[in-house]
């Protein structure tokens, strides 16, 4: 993190490392889907939604093979009374959930379930991929009292959700450190957990995007990461698009990823590199590059049309005049999605204003945020609240200490110098406890340490002079 004199940019480059389509952990395998993640094993009875040319289709069957090298999942399905084994690329599977082991009951016929056609660019219904894997009870508990399975993971009869309120400026009260911490808490429950970033942020600094990209890249290898958007502007919009899935609140907004240095918009090679690298991230996450381009520059127009039969969305970087065309951004303003435009275009997977509504979209029967014994709040909510309070306390006290330093000098030089030393020491304590806050105030640690050294020497000289 730089000081006030350093280049300040509201957004910057970030690249999520590409997660493998298939990976193994704890006796189960991770399947990275087109959207979301599934954890399971050969022999699991599953329900999955697959891309089928211009529509999507929902099927039930038994997983017969998982080929990590080729990225294939083979599922035995029954269609129109005929049973066959279908190899499917993991990248073509929109969602996948485990219904139980093979012997828990025969899968329902697809004829009973019916085919599901998506509207826009993604599924609007539940995406129940990556429900928490549950092992066999070991009879043991951890130090906090949670029952453990045979792999040492916590167990519950409900699927846990780990919510992290991600609020305020990116790099200040919205940081990657809390992402890492809640992921570590989710790890205690095993791979494939659902982590919800409850985003309400106006954006932030360039340096933070690098850290956020690295953190989310690692977290998404283990868990399903969901962005739930109230406000996600600039760097927060970029953060949202690093997630597996995006959902909006009714009043949600996301976009305007303008790159700024000081008070000016950045253009030229620096901006081009930013667009190229972030555009790659967007495409790897299954979102059109031109969507991000229209967020970055107002001159990049974005519209879309929808096939009236299939609902398939086609994006355009210019106004085409086609029937039913929706213009999302013109040459005057950067693209900002609302909940309605995001949903209609398929950019978001749904709109929810409550946890219960979001839970349904995520394919959950109940909304369950684990609360550790002895605590009053779920881990992520307490984590965010504690950091926010520390940051706000730091802001108030730093302002107070700066006012003391800049105040009228005391008549007694020894008393004045002693007060300066106490104030500088106090600010340096905050620099160690809450560096994002002191950085936002332009605090230069090296300069303060020099001031402190000079003040201590001056105090020694004043006391010696007094004793003569």
| Domain of residue 81, residue span | 22-113
Last residue of a domain, one of 344, 364, 381: 381
The rounded Cα 15 to chain-centroid distance in angstroms is 13
pLDDT at 382: 97
pLDDT at 206: 61
Given a cut of 70, whether residue 132 has pLDDT beyond it is: no
- Percent helix, strand and coil across the chain, each to the nearest 5: 35, 30, 35
pLDDT at 443: 92
Specify the higher pLDDT residue, 22 or 463: 463
Q: In what order do the strands lie in the sheet with 28-32?
A: 22-25, 28-32, 37-40
User: What is the mean predicted confidence (pLDDT) over 201-208?
Assistant: 79
Mean pLDDT (the chain) is 81
Tell whether 7 is covered by a domain: no
What are φ and ψ of residue 443, in 5° steps? -75, 125
Shared domain check, 321 and 421: no
Specify the higher pLDDT residue, 273 or 155: 155
Given a cut of 60, whether residue 16 has pLDDT beyond it is: no
Beta bridge mates, 248: 229, 351
Shared domain check, 397 and 361: no
Last residue of a domain, one of 356, 381, 406: 381
Shared domain check, 159 and 295: yes
Residues present in the chain in total? 468
Q: How far apart are CA 12 and CA 56, in angstroms?
A: 35
Terminal CA-CA length for the chain:
47
Shared domain check, 344 and 371: yes
Beta strands in 241-320 (DSSP E): 245-255, 260-261, 264-265, 302-306, 313-316
What CATH number is associated with residue 257?
Answer: 3.90.226.10
Residues 6+ apart with CB under 8 A from 167: 173, 174, 198, 199, 200, 201, 384, 388
Domain total for the chain?
3
Shared domain check, 388 and 325: no
pLDDT at 69: 65
pLDDT at 160: 96
Q: How far apart are CA 456 and CA 271, in angstroms?
A: 47
What are φ and ψ of residue 51, in 5° steps? -75, 130
Residues 6+ apart with CB under 8 A from 7: 206, 261, 262
Structure tokens at 76: 């035995």
pLDDT at 304: 94
Specify the higher pLDDT residue, 91 or 27: 91
Given a cut of 80, whether residue 62 has pLDDT beyond it is: yes
Residues 6+ apart with CB under 8 A from 103: none
Shared domain check, 320 and 211: yes
Q: How far is CA 459 from CA 391, 412, 427, 450, in A?
A: 32, 12, 19, 14
Max Cα distance, the chain (Å): 106
Tell whether 5 is covered by a domain: no
Structure tokens at 228: 């739930």
pLDDT digits (tens, 9 = 90+) for 295-342: 887 788 999 999 988 889 999 999 999 999 999 988 888 899 999 999
Tell whether 36 is covered by a domain: yes
Last residue of a domain, one of 316, 347, 381: 381
Shared domain check, 205 and 333: yes
User: What is the mean predicted confidence (pLDDT) over 328-357?
Assistant: 93
Tell whether 359 is covered by a domain: yes
User: What is the mean predicted confidence (pLDDT) over 418-429?
Assistant: 94
Degrees to nearest 5, angle at CA 455 with 450 and 461: 130
pLDDT digits (tens, 9 = 90+) for 180-193: 999 999 999 999 99
Shared domain check, 166 and 26: no
Q: How many CB atoms lie within 10 A of CB 188?
A: 18
Structure tokens at 357: 């509504």
DSSP codes joined into one string, 424-438: HHHHHHHHHH-HHHH
Helix (H, G, I), strand (E, B) or coil at 453: helix
User: What is the mean predicted confidence (pLDDT) over 212-232?
Assistant: 93
Structure tokens at 120: 């826009």
pLDDT at 296: 83
Q: Residue 167 in contact with residue 197, Cβ under 8 Å?
A: no
Q: Which of 380, 10, 94 is nearest to 219 (CA)?
A: 380
Specify the higher pLDDT residue, 14 or 333: 333
Structure tokens at 213: 């990209």
Shared domain check, 167 and 313: yes
Tell whether 67 is covered by a domain: yes
Shared domain check, 298 and 155: yes
49-53, 295-299, 407-411, range with the lowest pLDDT: 49-53
Global pTM?
A: 0.71
Q: How far apart are CA 226 and CA 219, in angstroms?
A: 11
Q: In what order do the strands lie in the sheet with 93-101?
A: 82-89, 72-79, 55-67, 44-52, 93-101
Tell whether 17 is covered by a domain: no
Specify the higher pLDDT residue, 336 or 88: 336
What CATH number is associated with residue 26?
Answer: 2.30.30.520
Tell whether 87 is covered by a domain: yes
113-117, 118-122, 355-359, 429-433, range with the lowest pLDDT: 113-117
Structure tokens at 152: 């040492």
Shared domain check, 377 and 296: yes
Shared domain check, 328 and 393: no
């Amino acid at each position: 993190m730089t000081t006030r004199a350093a280049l300040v940019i509201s957004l910057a480059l970030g690249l999520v490392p590409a997660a493998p389509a298939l990976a193994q952990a704890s006796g189960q395998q991770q399947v990275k889907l087109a959207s979301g993640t599934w954890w399971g094993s050969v022999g699991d009875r599953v329900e999955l939604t697959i891309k089928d040319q211009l529509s999507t289709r929902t099927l039930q069957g038994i997983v017969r093979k998982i080929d990590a090298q080729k990225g294939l999942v083979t599922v035995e399905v029954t269609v129109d009374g005929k049973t066959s084994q279908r190899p499917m690329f993991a990248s073509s599977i929109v969602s996948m959930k485990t219904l139980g082991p093979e012997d828990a009951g025969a899968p329902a016929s697809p004829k009973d379930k019916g085919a599901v056609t998506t509207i826009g660019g993604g599924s609007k219904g539940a995406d129940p991929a990556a429900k928490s894997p549950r092992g066999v009870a070991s009879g043991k508990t951890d130090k906090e009292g949670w029952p453990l399975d045979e792999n040492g993971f916590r167990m519950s009869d409900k699927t846990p959700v780990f919510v992290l309120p991600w609020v305020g400026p990116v790099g200040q009260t919205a940081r990657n450190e809390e992402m890492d911490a809640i992921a570590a808490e989710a790890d205690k429950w095993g791979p494939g957990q659902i982590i919800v970033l409850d985003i309400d942020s106006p954006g932030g600094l360039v340096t933070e995007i690098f850290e956020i990209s690295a953190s989310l890249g690692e977290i998404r290898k283990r868990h399903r990461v969901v962005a739930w958007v109230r406000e996600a502007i600039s760097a927060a919009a970029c953060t949202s698009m690093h997630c597996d899935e995006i959902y909006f609140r009714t009043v949600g907004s996301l976009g305007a990823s303008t790159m700024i240095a000081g008070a000016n918009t950045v253009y030229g090679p620096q901006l081009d590199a930013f667009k190229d690298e972030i555009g790659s991230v967007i495409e790897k996450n299954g979102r059109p590059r031109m969507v991000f381009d229209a967020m970055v520059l107002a001159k990049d127009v974005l519209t879309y049309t929808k096939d009236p039969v299939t609902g398939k969305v086609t994006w355009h970087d210019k106004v085409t005049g086609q029937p039913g065309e929706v213009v999302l951004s013109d040459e005057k303003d950067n693209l900002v999605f609302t909940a309605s435009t995001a949903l209609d275009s398929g950019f978001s997977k749904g709109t929810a204003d409550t946890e219960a509504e979001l839970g349904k979209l995520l394919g959950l029967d109940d909304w369950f945020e684990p609360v550790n014994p002895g605590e009053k709040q779920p881990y992520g909510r307490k984590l965010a609240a504690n950091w926010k309070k520390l940051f706000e306390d730091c802001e108030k006290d730093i302002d107070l200490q700066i006012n003391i330093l800049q105040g009228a000098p005391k008549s007694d030089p020894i008393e004045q110098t002693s007060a300066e030393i106490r104030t500088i020491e106090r600010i340096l304590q905050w620099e160690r406890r809450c560096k994002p806050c002191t950085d936002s105030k332009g605090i230069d640690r090296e300069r303060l340490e020099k001031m402190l050294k000079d003040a201590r020497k001056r105090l020694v000289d004043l006391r010696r002079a007094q004793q003569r």
